[in-house]
A and B are shown apart, each in its own frame.
Chain A
Amino acid sequence: MVGRFSGDPPQPRKAIFRRFFHPKTGQEIDRGLLLWFPGPSSFTGEDCCELHVHGGSAVSSAIIDALGSVSGLRYAGPGEFTRRSFQNGKLDLTEVEGIADLINAETEAQRRLALRQMNGALAKLYAAWKDKLLKNVAHLEAFIDFSEEENIEDGVTQAVFDNIVEVQQDIQRHLQDSRRGERLRTGVHLAIVGRPNVGKSSLLNTLCGRPVAMVSPVAGTTRDVIETTLNISGYPVIVSDTAGLRHTNDELESEGVRRAIERSKSSDILVVVVDVRDASVQRFLSSGHSSADRFVSRLLRRLGVVTLQSEGDVERPEVILLLNKDDLIPERKRLELLHAIQGRSRKAFCCLGSCYTEGGLDEFLNLLTTVLQNLCDDSSTESPMLTNDRHRLHLVNCLKFLTKYVEEHRSNDCVLGAEALRRALRQMAKVTGHVTTVTGHVTTTTGDDILDVIFNDFCIGK
């Protein structure tokens, strides 16, 4: 496992600097320290591996996501390391005693955390799914245990199937919320990209209201990624100003370009700044029919942010196009351009303006606010947001088992389908926290819960 994640198995108990790759996509996630403790000389007595990564929550999310995608890996329950350590004879009595307090504190904090995170609507949503799963698990179980001798209505398995597909879709939708809740908790990542000297740093300074980044007429002033946190219309936004994108032989600058592209890929929002006088803008204007979307895609490709189109499963960032320096073109031309942009794009994502005169920037901010709203809120459905990595992981697992059930549904052996469904239910129960973690048993979904539903819904008996 360690080998798959980071190359060759490392030397035991030595901190080693490594690059970490996603085992499925092969994408680099972070670099950091890797510590390898082969058992029995480890805390738990089993093989252990520690990854020391950068503290940002995006990195830890990505690492957790990567680890979660490896089959056989899962979150440790609270106190599980201590328990394993204890089971393997690594801890003695006093040590366990000391850690017992720690474990208690941990679960207490977790309880509070869960309460906060799952207040109201979210808790209700998960509970509703759990209930729905429980009911359908029970109905399928009733079919297995009773249908031969009792009156179980025909079509019970079909009804279960339909219901499960519904839950499956609901969870899928919930997971595809583009991490709204998590984003709201940890901040929206916005990167400003574009060719050199189009006014990216000026935009950052204008947004901040203070000179955060150095600006100069010389192309390539910004070398590194400059990051600052802003409150934009009430949304936490982490704005990154990046080096201008161009081919260069300057080693330092080309590193800056590489970082800029990297950052653009991990952002939620990409603000592409273009000088209105750029030849491409002129071509767009004169072509007369090509759409603004195509213009932007081409632009991004030329800028080197090409992967956006090719990687279907990676979330595409929202793109905002800012045509900067409109004070430097004649008013007639400006209006013509505005008209062309508005007429040839499906939705508003472009605006004209000038960081110098600050003209048109209100419009830009309005546009940005709309995008932020789309990213963070879900006012359209009123459904609560997913806020926690742990929930996401269990939900993803739950979904995996539901999908397995759907696959098995057609086969002759409904036991395997039922098994998948029972495991999906267990995952859902873990989300809502109705689980005794010392053993990993879900106490609320003992057979009796299932039986209760069975006997409420069916007439069973000799």
Chain B
Amino acid sequence: MRNGIMRRANLFRLNVSNEFQHSYVRRRRFLCLSAAPVDPPCHYDVIVVGGGHAGAEAAAASARMGAKTLLVTHKLDTIGEMSCNPAFGGIGKGHLIKEIDALDGLCGRICDLSGVHYRMLNTRKGPAVWGPRAQIDRALYKKEMQKELSATENLELMSAAVDNLLLGRPTETAHSGVKFNCHGVILESGQTVRAKSVVLTTGTFLRGEIVIGLKSTPAGRIGDGPAVGLAKSLDEAGFKLGRLKTGTPPRLDGKTIDFSRATPSLADNSPVPFSFMNDRVWIEPSKQLKCYLTYTNKAVVDLIRNNIHLNRAVIRGTTGPRYCPSIESKVLRFEERSHQVWLEPEGLSSDLIYPQGMSCTMPEEIQQQIINCIPCLEKAVMVRPGYGVEYDYVDPRQIKSSLETHLIQNLFLAGQINGTTGYEEAAAQGIFAGINAVLKGRAQPPFTLSRTESYVGVMIDDLTTFGASEPYRMFTNRAEFRIHLRPDNADLRLTEKGFRVGCVSENRWARTRQIRDDLDSCLSLLKDFKQPVCKWRTDLDRPEQTSTALKSAFDMISGDYLSVETLAKLHPEVFGQVFSNPVISQRAKIEAMYSHALDEQMEEVEELRRDELIQLPEDLEYESLNISLESKQKLMEIRPETIAAAARIPGVNQSALVVLLRHARNRNRGQMLSSS
């Protein structure tokens, strides 16, 4: 398989060698402004830089849409690498995977092929916040991902370092905020590769720096060099860059851990697949691996306290993400408590154990001592120390909701470069950037998703409006319309939209249509089947009542009293058949549970949607508006695309919004009249 990729890469080199005379002198950044009267032809529609979770999804989405796509990364072998924890999904993150899958993305399907411990989180808290999660076999995931990508039509993979962007003058139609137009990339070798649009998914590699104890080494990931040139280019192009920090725990040798004293955590007996396309996951339920739980103790606190002078992050006061704190910052803040340490397997063929909760940047020998303080880990051998990573990110207020940058046309950013953390957050942006990169090249309007219809929409709106002062991670509480944005209905929310834009296969769309029709007919059956309350009560062996008010089966299953199974038994002639499909019956039940609350929320949803429909012209001259200075500065910086986005920007006041409405009016009048 690897040979295949390499061959394609070589082939590619042959192709570009003819083009080489058109390329520009290496290292002369930005001086390549439209030298030739006619642009040389593009080699590709879309170039994706980076082969992590954002890059893989971006490249695959672009290729699915029929665009000629190139994925360039340092090493082909690291495509699909899970650099941190060996798990996908969770609460909020699982929602994202479902949405990616609804858009025909890869990670859900790959997880169904590589998980070793599937568990649905939050099952006792209501289906809107169920969190599908799985421990993943790293090696398998990578293998399946690479297999998938190399089999993808229209997609070429290439191993090379990208040194710079190929930039030109912006097109004449571009507004004043645009400084450049991106025509492709320049490789470290000096080669130029042209494309209509470029997606950067460089993760933590922009001036990445690894920190262990007091030592820091330039690197994007252990063993991989940083991308310095690219960061410099972005800097010079005028992007505001920030610096973020994240960390990863040490890895332990599982053979040296005494699991008998830890609390085991079992996988689900009937694992639920991530993908809407799958009815089951690859692994036999009984063959799944276990996770274990243990806790830190007083000895850990003392060790950290006594050695805190050896910790660069603590000395410098760099603040890490609040939801992925290092063990030392947890211990310093919440000294009294013992902290959870989850012992997670890294895969079927690996003895490595990932101690989740032990993210650590102390010197190596101290890390080993800390580990040995913890119950069950007294004899554990550390195979690799934990480390911190500091890296540059682009303030995401400089990108549009299509993930294209304001400053450079045809350049899209996705993943950690935008200040997010997590595989799922990266993948979701990746698929989005991939789709929009293709659309931009085809001069089609961007694909956007609203806060009212998806977690992806919530994330992108949050990023482009508020920026990221710490790595952004998805939580369900970020979504206002959480009871609508559920994992179970992601396909009904997004697949059709994805199909219309071309990133969803005919096959998937047919399946979604089938599910939709089955669910619809099931719901109408439920709503049409009505009988008096007194009849329901005798059916359910509840104390009799004389009420003859009619109640539908739909109303009845919305509460806790009646399950679909009981209903199917009570009236098999009506429901026997529809409820023989467990997926449909569960989805119908969930719809019923939330239908009342959803109806109540519709007004708020509509209100927001209306505001989202009012678009602000991209070329709006904020300078000339008669609004407060603070509003003006914020608006110029963020360039909101709709009134809804503008209203969410802290510091933009009411009167500024009214003025904006007027300008929106100019642009939208015809559109709105026709829609109303």
B residues less than 8 Å from A141 (CB atoms): 475-477
B260 to chain A, nearest CB (A): 23
Query: Is B659 within 8 A of A439, CB to CB?
Result: no
Query: Is B483 within 8 A of A419, CB to CB?
Result: yes
Interchain CA distance A414-B659 in the complex, whole Å: 42
Q: If the complex has contacts A149-B121, A439-B608, are A447 and B478 also in contact, measured as CB distance less than 8 A?
A: yes
B656 to chain A, nearest CB (A): 10
Q: Tell me whether B510 is interfacial, beta carbon within 8 Å.
A: no
Binds A, one of B334-342, B404-412, B574-582: B334-342
Chosen A-B contacts, 25 in total, with CB atoms closer than 8 Å, are A78-B654, A79-B658, A86-B665, A87-B672, A93-B666, A96-B665, A100-B658, A144-B91, A149-B342, A412-B126, A413-B125, A415-B125, A438-B654, A439-B608, A440-B608, A441-B608, A441-B644, A441-B648, A447-B477, A451-B322, A459-B337, A460-B323, A462-B323, A462-B342, A462-B357
Q: Which residue of A lies closest to B355 (CB)?
A: A462
Top 6 A-B residue pairs of the complex, sorted by shortest distance between their CB atoms: A413-B126, A415-B126, A141-B477, A447-B478, A461-B325, A439-B647
B residues less than 8 Å from A93 (CB atoms): 662, 665-666
Query: Is B604 within 8 A of A440, CB to CB?
Result: yes
A residues less than 8 Å from B122 (CB atoms): 144, 148
* A399-445 CB contacts (< 8 Å) to partner B: 411-416, 419, 422, 436-441, 443
B residues less than 8 Å from A87 (CB atoms): 610, 613-614, 672, 676
Interchain CA distance A415-B330 in the complex, whole Å: 28
B residues less than 8 Å from A437 (CB atoms): 654
* B634-667 CB contacts (< 8 Å) to partner A: 643-644, 647-648, 650, 654-655, 657-659, 661-662, 665-666
**B interface, CB within 8 angstroms of A:** 85, 90-92, 121-122, 124-129, 131, 321-325, 330, 333-334, 337, 339-340, 342, 356-357, 359, 462, 466, 475-478, 480, 482-483, 560, 593-594, 597, 601, 603-604, 607-608, 610-611, 613-614, 643-644, 647-648, 650, 654-655, 657-659, 661-662, 665-666, 669, 672-673, 676
Q: Which residue of A lies closest to B590 (CB)?
A: A413
Query: Is A414 within 8 A of B466, CB to CB?
Result: no
- A462-B85, A462-B356 are known; give 12 further A-B pairs, CB within 8 A: A89-B673, A96-B662, A104-B655, A141-B476, A145-B129, A149-B340, A411-B560, A416-B483, A419-B597, A446-B466, A455-B323, A462-B323
Q: Tell me whether A450 is interfacial, beta carbon within 8 Å.
A: yes
Interchain CA distance A451-B330 in the complex, whole Å: 17
A367 to chain B, nearest CB (A): 48
Query: Is A446 within 8 A of B648, CB to CB?
Result: yes
Q: If the complex has contacts A144-B91, A462-B356, are A151 and B339 also in contact, measured as CB distance less than 8 A?
A: yes
Chain A 84-96 per-residue mask, 1 if CB under 8 angstroms from chain B, else 0: 0011110001001
Query: Is B475 within 8 A of A447, CB to CB?
Result: yes
A residues less than 8 Å from B121 (CB atoms): 148-149
Chain A 124-150 per-residue mask, 1 if CB under 8 angstroms from chain B, else 0: 000000000000000001001110111
B residues less than 8 Å from A451 (CB atoms): 322, 475, 477
Q: If the complex has contacts A87-B614, A440-B604, are A145 and B654 also in contact, measured as CB distance less than 8 A?
A: no
A residues less than 8 Å from B324 (CB atoms): 461-462
Residue of A83, A414, A455, A462 touching B126 (CB-CB under 8 A): A414
Q: Which residue of B lies closest to A436 (CB)?
A: B647
Q: Which residue of B lies closest to A411 (CB)?
A: B560
Q: Tell me whether A72 is interfacial, beta carbon within 8 Å.
A: yes
Q: Tell me whether A97 is interfacial, beta carbon within 8 Å.
A: yes
Q: Tell me whether A103 is interfacial, beta carbon within 8 Å.
A: yes
Q: If the complex has contacts A145-B92, A436-B654, A450-B477, are A459 and B666 also in contact, measured as CB distance less than 8 A?
A: no
Q: Tell me whether A251 is interfacial, beta carbon within 8 Å.
A: no
B residues less than 8 Å from A96 (CB atoms): 658, 661-662, 665
Q: Tell me whether A353 is interfacial, beta carbon within 8 Å.
A: no
B residues less than 8 Å from A439 (CB atoms): 607-608, 611, 643-644, 647-648
Query: Is A412 within 8 A of B560, CB to CB?
Result: yes
Query: Is B647 within 8 A of A461, CB to CB?
Result: no
B430 to chain A, nearest CB (A): 22
Q: Tell me whether A107 is interfacial, beta carbon within 8 Å.
A: yes
Q: Tell me whether A199 is interfacial, beta carbon within 8 Å.
A: no
B398 to chain A, nearest CB (A): 19
Q: Which residue of B lies closest to A88 (CB)?
A: B676
Q: Tell me whether A384 is interfacial, beta carbon within 8 Å.
A: no
Q: Tell me whether A220 is interfacial, beta carbon within 8 Å.
A: no
B247 to chain A, nearest CB (A): 10
B190 to chain A, nearest CB (A): 42
Query: Is B129 within 8 A of A461, CB to CB?
Result: no
Interchain CA distance A84-B478 in the complex, whole Å: 27
Interchain CA distance A437-B653 in the complex, whole Å: 10
Query: Is A415 within 8 A of B322, CB to CB?
Result: no
Query: Is A145 within 8 A of B475, CB to CB?
Result: yes
B residues less than 8 Å from A448 (CB atoms): 466
Residue of A89, A415, A443 touching B648 (CB-CB under 8 A): A443
B400 to chain A, nearest CB (A): 20
Residue of B325, B603, B647 touching A72 (CB-CB under 8 A): B603
A412, A419, A455 — which one has the most chain B CB atoms within 10 A of its CB? A419
B306 to chain A, nearest CB (A): 21
Interchain CA distance A146-B323 in the complex, whole Å: 10
Query: Is B128 within 8 A of A415, CB to CB?
Result: yes
Residue of A83, A88, A107, A150 touching B340 (CB-CB under 8 A): A150
Interchain CA distance A439-B462 in the complex, whole Å: 16
A228 to chain B, nearest CB (A): 42
Interchain CA distance A351-B15 in the complex, whole Å: 109
B19 to chain A, nearest CB (A): 46
Query: Is A419 within 8 A of B482, CB to CB?
Result: yes
A87, A141, A145, A422 — which one has the most chain B CB atoms within 10 A of its CB? A145
Query: Is B483 within 8 A of A415, CB to CB?
Result: yes
